[in-house]
Amino acid sequence: MDKHNKKLDKPKVTYFTVKDDVSLPAATGISAKIDDKGFLHVSWNPVQGASSYQVFLQARDLSEKGDGDTYVTTMRITKETKADFTEAESSADEESTFYQNKMFRSGILVDSSVNAENVYNNRLRAKGGDQSITEDMVADYVADRNTVKDVSIIVRAVKEASGDKKAEYAPLAYLNINSLLSQIPVASFTPESGYSKTTPMSHDTVKEHLTKYVSMADGSLTQGLKVLDFSKAQAYGNPDTQVITFWEVPYTVKGTILSGVVGFRHAEWSSLEDAQKSVDQATAQVVASWPKTSDLTPYTPDKNVDWHEVTKNNTVATSMPDIDKELPGIKVSGSNELVKYIAANLLVGHRVMDVSAYVNVNEADTLVQDAYREAVFQNPLLCGSQTSPDIHVDGSKVLLGVQYNSIVDELKTVDAFKKTRDGVMDLVHRYQKSAPSNPADQVKYYHDALANLVDYDYDAKESGRYIGQAVDSSVLVLLSADGKADMGNKTVCAGYAQAYQLLLQQAGIDSWYVVGLIGDTTGDSGSTRSHAWNLVNVGNGYKVVDVTWDDPEGEAPETDYLMADVNGSGEVGRRVYEDHYLPAGKLKTMVPESRIS
């Protein structure tokens, strides 16, 4: 309505931010680390005037098929500037659980019914001939944003009420901890093999009982080993005859906070020493036969990596590669020099690099993790070929190690990655030969070329089975059009945006891959969903290009979302930008700060 109470011809929208009318500032210097047992430790700087602090765990569903739900729980209220989560909690399960585990099991996974444990056991049933197992129950499982939510620690300083003064609450301070979730064990299980978890060990089942599969907070699956403490064994038997019938031996799962007990029947074992000897032999056999990772999930960095062996068998990069000499024609994107350094070294095939010149040891975990993530997603030739980095601090030296591991053959090894990289660049160069010379015309040329090349994968979107396509096909769809890959020419929004980013990036056009929320971003209807698109600048500020939405099925490309104003009317002007693959500081130079989540 206008000031005369008459209905407006067109709605008027005003964007604004709310200034905090409190004197208590937000907490700063929040940091988080995981110890060698999987415990989370959070600390922050003191806030002047604060009498206590509230610590929350927040998890937001940002998956393609998600509805934007947010889960928040209170982790701790403390007067200290740190919070640890090590309290034990009784449980009827075989493994005792912990206060921390309970929090990370509740609301972190996007779909708890499709997790590593269920998929693994379904595969075992299928191999055993179980006809009730359908294809979707044994689908490829990848621990990524479509299986785990976006998780942050929130710290809020509080000035408690005094006299007639009400309590005062500082603004919330956030720290994203998704890069740490793969180090937090939340549960373990024994693969189904015909016997109960509570069945005591026998000579035939020692090895099976020793192996535990451990579910991590990011939804991934790793192998664990039961470490039995025979010095704390308890004997049970007939009190009248004093005949021992069985022993219970406590155990922990190596490298985790999980524990329990196992039983040894006297009928199977002549003595406790006999049982210990058998366990020691079986342990050696189990460890020797273990693969480095399970067959369900991408490579999970081993916190006990032998960095002496790594640096001995891999040349450690210590300087910025000469891209013009080693990879003529390839351009590198990054919002800072650390990002460009990591991206350039990965593009030439280096797997280990010294990043000491860019970070100090106290900032290594957060800064390098964030820089690595940006390097991979803003340089689409890398996207899909890497996994989470392993960061090693040795004195004043900080090393970054990366393992190649993809769900598609074209990206599984360093050599395969290089071959794919070069094949994609050959195709990009062929596009460039036909492209117009004017940057603005190139933006449309590549927009139309990609829309004609790629179709949206509605089946994958509806079924949720686009994991891998959303990332890996960002470059492979280009190869598929040339008959050099078998991914097909279908993908989802991330594939469109990544492929478009590659084409513009290599053309020298200022462009960035962005993700965020679309729909009702006011939160009133709960209809927001995650999306990916591009921001492009050819000299008159950053504009939105959404090739996905400009690609109608079976028709010529549209231009509704070709260089659209970020503050334009309708859906474009309502988009909320997430800082997953670009730092908020960089996003602020492209879109209004009020639109950055």
Residue with the two structure tokens 């927040």: 58
| pLDDT score of 51 | 94
Measure the CA–CA gap between 496 and 561, rounded to whole angstroms.
Answer: 13
| pLDDT score of 293 | 39
Secondary structure (H, E, C), 419-441 = HHHHHHHHHHHHHHHHCCCCHHH
Burial of 562 (0-12, 13-18, 19+ CB in 10 A): buried
Distances (CA, A) of 591 to 157, 530, 543, 546, 581: 29, 18, 9, 16, 15
How confident is the model over 276-311, as pLDDT tens digits?
Answer: 999 988 888 877 766 543 333 333 333 444 556 556
Measure the CA–CA gap between 104 and 99, rounded to whole angstroms.
Answer: 9
Percent of the chain with pLDDT over 70: 74
| pLDDT score of 447 | 95
Q: How many residues does the chain have?
A: 597
Among 535, 532, 519, CA closest to 571 = 519
Q: Is the dihedral of CA 276, 281, 284, 290 positive or negative?
A: negative
How confident is the model over 87-109, as pLDDT tens digits?
Answer: 655 444 445 556 677 777 767 77
| pLDDT score of 557 | 93
How confident is the model over 215-260, as pLDDT tens digits?
Answer: 778 777 777 788 899 999 998 887 777 778 888 898 888 767 777 8
How confident is the model over 373-396, as pLDDT tens digits?
Answer: 899 889 988 865 555 577 777 767
pLDDT tier, 548 (very low <50, low <70, confident <90, very high otherwise): very high
Answer yes or no: is pLDDT of 477 > 80.
no
